[in-house]
Structure 1
Amino acid sequence: MEKMKLTCGDILTLRGDALVCPAHKHLIRGRGLSAQIFDRAGEALAEECARLPECPVGGARITSAPNLSVRYLIHTVTPQWSSGDQWGVEGVVQLRQCYENVLGLARERGLRRLLFPALGAGTNRFPHAIAAHQALVMLHSQVAEFGKLTVCLHSAAALGEWQRVERRFFKEPLINSLPDGKNSLEL
């Protein structure tokens, strides 16, 4: 069984133990995927979130997932992309903390199958290549501790970008055989 998967489609139709929700620090309905999740989950989610403490950027909180195809939502507040200016490094560190804290919370709760969107790359405007690298560093380092980690992208173009990053940084390079069957040139 494939333990880590990159795919494209509607993340709200996928099944798993938990779906990661890009969150507002007050855990209220945000924009993009957050809005879709809150709209589908209804008032029960809004009421549950209202009882939780504020969540800092990079932090994570867990709630039930009413009316969704998962048991739990893990909310994480992603940083805004600052166009690579002097605050850009802090945002990259915070984005990695989102994954770190989500994975830690899932591990504490015994959740094995997680669904991730491209955290930070939606309304917070992180370039997909940067978002993918930060995500894949964390996910590849901890995939053995989970049953399945799925990253679901919203477009084929985004999926292609994440696949390029994964091939470049996380897959073993293939050895190309020379026409005579040898794997290296003799000098």
Structure 2
Amino acid sequence: MSGEARQTTAMQVIAADITTLRVDAIVNAANSSLQGGGGVDGAIHRKAGPELAAAGRSLGGCEPGQACITEGYRLPARYVIHTVGPVWHGGQASEPALLASCYRESLQLALDNGLRTVAFPAISTGVFGYPQDEAARVAAKAVFTFVDRHPDAFDEIIFCAFDETRRQVIEAAVEEFRA
């Protein structure tokens, strides 16, 4: 991996409530209906307001590994990039490829829309059951690879965990690819 990309794009791993971040876009670990649910998806929908669910309905859903974008409505983030991660089935049902696609597709949408700051939750690690350490490695590799290919596209990418334990798991994976 080139050092140049890491110098032009700041990468952070934090423990915070993603719905409070003032960034161009937060990524929502959505379900395929785009109508809200549990975990980060439910929190984003609650804070954004009912307009977000209406926007999701107008999009007609999203498939695993894909991403789509809406306004952020009542969130401090200008946009929400919705991506549907894979449900964990032991790793033999294309889960790593689908999860990597979530990160690539989200970053591509950000790039296409001129969004310079993006925050990601730990996609698929909640109710979808993806093991945290494996998901963190897939995420870090996908993001670093994308940024290496587009070194001037982003000012900052944030990996946002909802607690310190998960932050440490993500930080360890990011450090593997930062070196």
Deviations 1:77-134 (A, max 9, x none): 11111134x32xx011100000111011111101110010011112212111111111
Give structure 1 regions of 4+ aligned residues with deviation exceeding 6 angstroms: none
Which of 86, 98, 109 is matched with 2:113 structurally? 109
Q: Which amino acid in the other structure matches residue 118 of structure 2?
A: L
Give the % identical residues: 33
Computed over aligned residues only, the root mean square deviation of the Cα atoms, in angstroms, reads 1.4
* Structure 1 segments unaligned to the other structure (5+ residues): 173-187
Deviations 1:24-60 (A, max 9, x none): 1121111111111111112111111111132110111
Equivalent position of 2:90 in the other structure: 83
Question: Is the contact between residue 30 and residue 83 of structure 2 (CA under 8 Å) also seen in structure 1?
Answer: yes
* Whole-Å separation in 2 of the counterparts to 1:54 and 1:47: 11
Equivalent position of 2:17 in the other structure: 10
* Whole-Å separation in 1 of the counterparts to 2:77 and 2:136: 23
Instruction: Write the mapping of 1:127-146 to structure 2, written as runs, cut at 5 A.
Output: 127-143=131-147, 144=151, 145-146=153-154
Question: Is the contact between residue 88 and residue 129 of structure 2 (CA under 8 Å) also seen in structure 1?
Answer: yes
Question: Is the contact between residue 28 and residue 83 of structure 2 (CA under 8 Å) also seen in structure 1?
Answer: yes
Q: TM-score scaled by structure 2? A: 0.88
Q: Between Structure 1 and Structure 2, how many residues are aligned?
A: 168
* Whole-Å separation in 2 of the counterparts to 1:133 and 1:31: 24
Equivalent position of 1:20 in the other structure: 27
Q: Which amino acid in the other structure matches residue 142 of structure 1?
A: F
* Structure 2 segments unaligned to the other structure (5+ residues): 1-7
Instruction: Write the mapping of 1:88-103 to structure 2, written as runs, cut at 5 A.
Output: 90-103=94-107
Question: Is the contact between residue 27 and residue 120 of structure 2 (CA under 8 Å) also seen in structure 1?
Answer: yes
Structure with greater helix share of residues: 2
Moved more, 155-164 or 61-70: 155-164
* Whole-Å separation in 2 of the counterparts to 1:82 and 1:35: 23
* Whole-Å separation in 2 of the counterparts to 1:43 and 1:10: 19
Cα deviation, residue 171, structure 1:
3.4
